[in-house]
Amino acid sequence: MEQKIDCAQACVNGCVLGDKCPNIEFREAAAKFIEETPLEKMLELAQERLRQKMTEPPKWVFPEDP
């Protein structure tokens, strides 16, 4: 049985499930990205994304009809 937890809440200080984590492939990909990407490149990516977000039109979210 797969354990369901809210990773954003439970794993603030690190993964609590270890090797049983359902998101292990994302954790490995993130670790590889951090290891291989210079900080300057990360900052450049973040600035570009922020610039894109600021120039996008607003997205309206409508609640589902009952």
pTM above 0.75, yes or no: no
Domains in the chain: boundaries: 7-55
Provide the pLDDT for residue 61: 84
Contact 11, 23 (CB under 8 A): no
* Mean pLDDT, range 1-8, rounded to an integer: 68
Contact 23, 7 (CB under 8 A): yes
Spell out a b/e string for 42-54, using b for 16 or more CB atoms within 10 Å of the CB, else e: eeeeeeeeeeeee
Provide the pLDDT for residue 13: 82
Encode pLDDT of 9-66 as tens digits.
Answer: 888 887 888 778 877 788 788 889 999 999 999 999 999 999 999 998 888 888 876 6
Q: What is the DSSP string of 19-31?
A: GG-TTHHHHHHHH
Distance CA 34, CA 36 (A): 6
